[in-house]
C-alpha cells in the first residue's frame, strides 16, 4: 500500500487497511522478529538472558510494564527501543488532538467530522518516531498536565458552557493515544496523581472536573522506577502496582567485557582523540573495574547504585587527559599512561553517593582508593599473586625489583613527560623489564609501558613499595623510603 496516495477515509477503506491496537501491533511485530531470529532490542548489552526475555514476554502478554532498577541501567533506553516494534506508519484523522484511528474514532471531533464528510474525511499518516511520549515524574506534575482540564478560553471562544465536553483541553496522556507513553521515576509522582492513572490503565475512562468521558485510549504504558528502599521521596501506590502487568528488574553489567562494550558504544569521543591516544586493553579493563569496586565499596551507598554513565564519562576524561598532555608537549601521538587515571577522579566523585564514612574520607580519596582496589583485583591476572602473609626469608618474584628501589633515592614519573622520556624512564628499571618478559612474554611492546606502571601500582597496593603523589607526578620508593626521606 502506497500510503502517500491514501488521503481520505474512503481510500483507506478501499486499500484493505485493518485497524490494530498498539499492544497487538507490538506483539505482532515482535513475533515477526523472533521468527526471523532478529534482535528485538539492539544496542543493549548484558540483558540477553535476563531482562530482554522478560520484556518480550511482557509484550507478548500485552502488559503495561514497570522497569525497576538503579540509575544507569538502560531503563529509558529499553522503553525507547520499543518504538522499533511499532508499524512504520499508521493513519489518523486529520486535525484530531488525540490521533484518532479513522476506522475506530473515539473523540467527539473525529466522530462529528466523519459524520459530516464520510468517505471524504481527510487522513494523515503518522511515523512511529512520533508515537513516543515521555514524562519525567516530578512533585510539581498535576492531573491537568497528564489528563487535562477545562479550558476557559476555549469555552469563551466557542461560546460553550463548562458543561460541554468540547471545552476540555487534553493533557499529555490523551494526546499520546495510540503511542508508547513513558513515565520516568514513577515513585516521584504524588500519590494523588498516581491515583488519577487507575481508570486509564484499567477501564480507559478519563475524568476531568466532573466530566466522565468514555475514551478507550489505546496506549502502551512503560514506567521506570528505582527500588523503593532507595527512592525515599515516594513509592508506587499499591492499587497502581496492581494494574501494571509486568514488573521487570534491570541490573548492572555482570562482566568487565560487557561493561567495556557499553562504554565503547556510548562514549562520545572526537575522532582526533582516538587517533592520537593509544589505549591498552588493560587500561579499559581497569577503568571498568573501578565501577565494580565502587558497587562493593563500604564508603559508597549501595542503594544509590553506580551508573554506567560513570565509566562512560571517566573514559572520555581519560582520553582527554592524555590528549591534553600530548598537545602541550607538541606531539602527534601518545600512549595512555597510568598517571592519566588521575584525570578520571572528577568523573567518579560526581557519580557516587558517599555514606558517612566516605564523607569523612573525602570524595577524591575514595575515588583514588577505588583505583587502587581495581589494581589489586586485576593484578593476579597478569603477575604471580602476592600473599598477604609471607615468611621473612621467603623468596618472591619481586625481590629484585624491590631491591632496585631500595638502592634508589626515588623513582619519579612526572605527568608532563614526553613519550620518549616516559619510555626511557621505565626502560631504565631493569627488573621491571625482566618481570614483563617472564610473565607477559606475549604482550605487545606498545602495551608493556602501561603494564609496567600497573605492576608498580600493584606492588604499592600489596605494601611492597610506597608511592607519593606530588603536584606534577608520582614518586615510587621502597616501602620505608618515604619515612627515611621524610616525604
- Predicted pLDDT of residue 94: 94
What are φ and ψ of residue 37, in 5° steps? 60, 35
Alpha-carbon distance 193 to 188, whole Å?
A: 10
232: exposed, middle or buried (Cβ count in 10 Å: 0-12, 13-18, 19+): exposed
Place of cell 571498568: 288
List C-alpha distances in Å: 121 to 31, 103, 290, 427.
33, 11, 61, 81
- Predicted pLDDT of residue 208: 66
What's domain 3-249's superfamily in CATH?
A: P-loop containing nucleotide triphosphate hydrolases (3.40.50.300)
List C-alpha distances in Å: 167 to 153, 353, 433, 483.
8, 48, 81, 81
C-alpha angle 379-381-385 in degrees, rounded to nearest 5? 60
- Predicted pLDDT of residue 484: 47
Which part of the chain has CATH 3.40.50.300?
3-249
| Cβ proximity of 252 and 73 under 8 Å | yes
- Predicted pLDDT of residue 131: 95
pLDDT beneath 70: ranges in the chain: 1-2, 4, 155, 161-165, 203-205, 207-213, 228-234, 389-391, 481-487
Counting Cα atoms < 13 Å in the Cβ hemisphere of 396 gives: 19
What are φ and ψ of residue 432, in 5° steps? -65, -45
Question: What's the pLDDT tens digit per position in 287-334?
Answer: 999 999 999 999 998 888 888 899 999 999 999 999 999 999 999 999
- Predicted pLDDT of residue 164: 67
Max CA distance (Å), the chain:
100
- Predicted pLDDT of residue 226: 85
Residue spans of beta strands (DSSP E) within 358-452:
411-414
Going edge to edge, which strands form the sheet with 465-470? 411-414, 473-478, 465-470
Q: Is the pTM value of this prediction over 0.95? A: no
Question: What's the pLDDT tens digit per position in 421-457?
Answer: 999 999 999 999 999 999 999 999 999 999 999 999 9
Provide the pairing of β-strand 246-249 with 334-335. Answer: unpaired
Count of C-beta atoms within a 10 Å radius of residue 212 = 11
Alpha-carbon distance 290 to 371, whole Å?
A: 6
C-alpha angle 341-344-350 in degrees, rounded to nearest 5? 155
- Predicted pLDDT of residue 305: 83
Alpha helices by DSSP H, 428-480:
430-439, 445-461
11: exposed, middle or buried (Cβ count in 10 Å: 0-12, 13-18, 19+): middle
Contacts 24+ apart (CB under 8 A), 266-272: 266/308, 266/312, 267/312, 267/315, 267/316, 268/316, 269/316, 269/319, 272/323
Alpha-carbon distance 287 to 345, whole Å?
A: 11
What are φ and ψ of residue 97, in 5° steps? -70, -25
Alpha-carbon distance 382 to 280, whole Å?
A: 14
C-alpha angle 379-380-384 in degrees, rounded to nearest 5? 115
**DSSP class of residue 386?**
-
Amino acid at each position: 500500500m502506497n500510503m502517500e496516495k491514501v488521503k481520505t477515509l474512503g481510500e483507506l477503506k478501499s486499500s484493505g487497511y485493518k485497524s490494530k491496537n498498539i499492544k497487538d501491533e507490538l506483539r505482532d511485530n515482535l513475533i515477526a522478529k523472533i521468527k526471523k531470529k532478529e534482535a528485538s532490542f539492539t544496542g543493549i548489552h548484558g540483558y540477553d538472558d535476563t531482562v530482554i526475555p522478560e520484556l518480550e514476554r511482557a509484550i507478548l502478554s500485552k502488559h503495561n510494564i514497570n522497569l525497576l532498577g538503579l540509575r544507569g541501567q538502560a531503563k529509558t533506553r529499553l522503553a525507547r527501543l520499543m518504538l522499533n516494534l511499532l508499524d512504520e506508519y499508521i493513519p489518523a484523522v486529520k486535525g484530531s488532538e488525540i490521533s484518532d484511528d479513522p476506522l475506530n474514532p473515539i473523540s467527539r471531533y473525529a466522530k462529528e467530522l466523519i459524520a459530516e464528510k464520510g468517505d471524504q474525511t481527510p487522513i494523515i499518516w503518522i511515523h512511529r518516531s512520533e508515537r513516543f511520549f515521555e514524562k519525567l515524574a516530578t512533585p510539581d506534575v498535576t492531573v491537568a498536565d497528564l489528563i487535562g482540564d477545562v479550558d476557559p478560553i476555549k469555552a469563551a471562544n466557542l461560546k460553550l458552557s463548562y458543561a460541554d465536553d468540547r471545552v476540555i483541553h487534553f493533557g499529555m496522556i490523551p494526546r499520546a493515544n495510540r503511542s508508547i507513553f513513558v513515565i520516568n521515576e514513577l515513585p516521584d509522582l504524588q500519590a494523588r496523581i498516581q491515583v488519577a492513572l487507575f481508570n486509564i490503565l484499567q477501564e480507559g475512562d478519563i475524568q476531568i472536573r466532573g466530566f466522565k468521558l468514555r475514551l478507550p485510549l489505546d496506549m502502551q504504558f512503560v514506567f521506570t522506577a528505582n527500588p523503593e528502599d532507595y527512592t525515599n521521596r515516594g513509592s508506587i501506590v499499591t492499587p497502581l502496582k496492581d494494574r501494571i502487568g509486568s514488573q521487570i528488574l534491570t541490573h548492572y553489567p555482570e562482566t568487565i567485557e560487557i561493561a567495556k562494550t557499553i562504554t565503547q558504544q556510548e562514549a562520545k569521543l572526537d575522532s582526533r582523540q582516538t587517533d592520537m591516544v593509544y589505549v591498552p586493553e588493560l587500561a579499559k579493563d581497569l577503568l571498568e573495574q573501578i565501577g565494580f569496586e565502587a558497587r562493593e565499596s563500604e564508603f559508597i551507598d549501595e542503594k544509590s547504585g553506580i551508573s554506567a554513565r560513570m565509566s562512560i564519562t571517566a573514559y572520555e576524561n581519560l582520553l582527554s587527559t592524555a590528549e591534553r598532555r600530548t598537545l602541550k608537549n607538541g606531539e602527534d601521538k601518545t600512549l595512555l599512561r597510568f598517571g592519566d587515571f588521575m584525570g578520571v577522579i572528577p568523573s567518579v566523585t560526581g557519580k557516587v553517593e558517599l555514606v558517612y564514612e566516605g564523607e569523612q574520607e573525602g570524595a577524591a580519596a575514595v575515588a583514588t582508593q577505588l583505583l587502587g582496589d581495581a589494581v589489586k583485583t586485576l593484578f593476579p591476572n597478569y603477575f604471580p599473586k602476592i600473599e598477604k602473609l609471607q615468611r621473612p626469608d621467603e623468596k618472591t618474584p619481586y625481590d629484585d625489583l624491590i631491591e632496585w628501589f631500595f638502592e634508589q633515592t626515588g623513582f619519579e614519573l612526572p605527568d608532563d613527560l614526553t613519550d620518549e622520556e616516559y619510555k626511557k624512564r621505565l626502560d631504565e628499571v631493569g627488573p621491571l623489564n625482566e618481570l614483563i618478559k617472564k610473565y607477559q612474554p606475549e604482550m605487545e611492546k606498545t602495551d608493556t609501558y602501561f603494564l609496567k606502571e600497573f605492576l608498580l601500582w600493584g606492588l604499592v597496593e600489596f605494601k611492597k613499595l610506597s608511592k607519593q603523589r606530588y603536584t606534577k607526578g608520582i614518586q615510587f620508593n621502597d616501602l620505608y623510603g618515604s619515612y627515611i626521606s621524610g616525604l
